[in-house]
Each structure stands twice: as structure tokens, then as C-alpha cells.
């Protein structure tokens, strides 16, 4: 009897696995046919029966198991009052930033770092300049600032060229500070990560600067003064 139960359990598990695999293939084929440019990074069952979670870059979508319907939005656990999608988005943000790597960022570090944020910045953006003019306030709060470029005017514009020149400068931090003060920076070109920064901004759906991303992957659009930012970061790191 025990052997029969064990075999039945294995059969059910095998059936569930093959069904899930078939559903994933159905979803992949449906998306490939309707949205051929969409690159799927992962597919897995969501918390809702019949609905699959599809990861595309740093975005999360939900697709029915027959591949006919796609839902763009957040999945909420009503009983737990919890946004299930937000946590997954945050995880994907952290992975994307880690994949870029700190060697492709311009970093301002305090003596003792308590928090780290990555900021999408545009040299010609007024609030980006305001934020950087207060860099000492952020450092005083123990916040490490990791800058990546997002020239909002697009590739090969003046803002883009300034970003490249800053990256190619002998002293990137000094060049960035000078550029944000409106000072001229010597035009230079070299191998640079600005296009990668812009691609990452697209994945994050950044549409304004500055955009601040915490270590936990939470996105804060717009300028935040140091005192306000540190309180938000403390809240993220507080015990739940």
C-alpha cells in the first residue's frame, strides 16, 4: 500500500511538472508570436492559480496559462495587505544594478557608509545639480552616492556628450562636479558605459532625473534632500 501511495505521489508530481512546463512553452510561443521583440528572462507560476509571472528585464508581467491574456500591474494579497509585485520588482532592480557593476559608476563615498543609493542623473538637469550641490550633506548622513548617466535629451546630444567627457576625464568626480556647476569640461571620448546607463534607465522606466534607487531596489523619483532620504532609507532597513 505504501509503495502504491508513493508511486501515485510521484505520478502527480510528474504530471504537475509537465503541465507547468507545457504552460510555460505555450506562454513563450504566444509572446514570441505577438511580441517578437520582448525578451523573456524568466517564467514561473504566480501566487494566483492559472496566472504566470513573466520577468522581462526589470519588469514583471502576468500572463494566463493559455498565453491569451497579459496583465500589466501589481498583484496584491488582500488578506495580508501586501504588494506581491513590488518585492519582485525591487529584486530585479538590485540584480540589474549589480550586473552593471560599480566599475561603471561615478561614486562619492563618506568616511563611514551606512546606506548606498544609485542615482540616474543628467548633467543639465536643474534638480540633479541641486542634489549634487548638497553632496556633502548626503555624505554626512553616511549615504554613498553611485551615479549613472541618463541624458534625457538622448544619444549624441550636448548632455550626452558632456556625460561622455566627464567619464573620460582624468578625474571623473571633479569633472562631474564642475559640469554640474555649469563649468565647461574638456571634450573627450573614450570607451564608456553611458549607453549601458541609458539602457538601464529604459529598463527601470526612468522618465525624469534625478531618480534614486536604494540598496533594496526601491525607486524614489525626483530630488530628495539628505535628511528626508536618510529617513526613508532607515524605514526600509527597519525590522518588519
122 counts as catalytic: yes
For the question of residue 125 being annotated catalytic, the response is yes
Among 136, 121, 88, 124, smallest CA distance to 194 is for 121
Examine the residue annotation and report whether 129 is marked as an active-site residue of this protein.
no
Q: What is the grid cell recorded at 210?
A: 534625478
Q: Give the residue carrying C-alpha cell 542623473.
A: 121
Confirm if 166 and 106 have CB atoms less than 8 A apart: yes
CA distance 167 to 149: 10
Q: Which of 65, 122, 129, 168 is catalytic?
A: 122
190 is catalytic: no
Cell of 11: 505520478
The burial class, CB within 10 Å (0-12 / 13-18 / 19+), for 19 is exposed
Helix axes 158-168, 172-180, angle to 10 degrees: 150
Are the C-beta atoms of 143 and 226 separated by less than 8 Å?
Answer: yes
* Alpha helices in 61-124, H assignment, sequence order: 84-100
What are residue 223's DSSP bridge partners? none
Q: Are 93 and 205 in contact (CB under 8 A)?
A: no
Contact 233, 214 (CB under 8 A): yes
Among residues 23, 124, 128, 129, which one is catalytic? 128
Catalytic residue among 23, 125, 129, 168: 125
Give the Cβ contact number of residue 238 at 10 Å. 7
Does a cis peptide bond (omega within 30 degrees of 0) precede residue 101? no
Residues annotated as part of the active site: 122, 125, 128, 152
Amino acid at each position: 500500500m505504501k509503495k502504491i501511495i508513493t508511486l501515485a505521489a510521484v505520478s502527480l508530481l510528474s504530471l504537475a511538472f509537465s503541465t507547468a512546463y507545457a504552460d510555460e512553452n505555450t506562454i513563450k510561443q504566444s509572446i514570441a508570436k505577438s511580441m517578437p521583440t520582448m525578451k523573456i528572462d524568466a517564467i514561473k507560476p504566480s501566487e494566483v492559480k492559472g496566472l504566470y509571472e513573466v520577468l522581462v528585464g526589470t519588469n514583471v508581467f502576468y500572463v494566463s496559462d493559455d498565453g491569451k491574456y497579459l496583465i500589466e500591474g501589481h498583484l496584491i494579497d488582500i488578506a495580508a495587505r501586501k504588494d506581491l509585485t513590488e518585492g519582485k520588482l525591487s529584486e530585479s532592480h538590485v540584480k540589474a544594478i549589480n550586473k552593471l557593476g560599480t566599475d561603471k559608476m561615478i561614486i562619492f563615498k563618506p568616511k563611514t557608509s551606512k546606506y548606498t543609493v544609485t542615482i540616474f542623473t543628467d548633467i543639465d538637469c536643474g534638480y540633479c545639480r541641486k542634489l549634487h550641490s548638497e553632496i556633502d550633506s548626503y555624505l554626512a548622513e553616511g549615504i554613498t552616492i553611485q551615479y549613472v548617466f541618463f541624458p534625457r535629451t538622448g544619444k549624441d546630444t550636448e548632455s550626452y556628450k558632456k556625460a561622455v567627457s566627464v567619464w573620460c576625464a582624468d578625474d571623473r568626480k571633479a569633472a562631474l562636479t564642475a559640469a554640474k556647476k555649469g563649468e565647461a569640461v574638456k571634450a573627450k571620448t573614450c570607451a564608456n558605459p553611458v549607453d549601458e546607463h541609458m539602457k538601464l534607465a529604459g529598463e527601470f522606466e526612468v522618465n525624469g532625473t534625478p531618480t534614486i534607487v536604494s540598496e533594496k531596489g526601491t525607486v524614489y523619483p525626483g530630488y530628495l534632500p539628505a535628511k528626508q532620504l536618510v529617513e526613508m532609507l532607515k524605514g526600509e532597513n527597519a525590522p518588519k
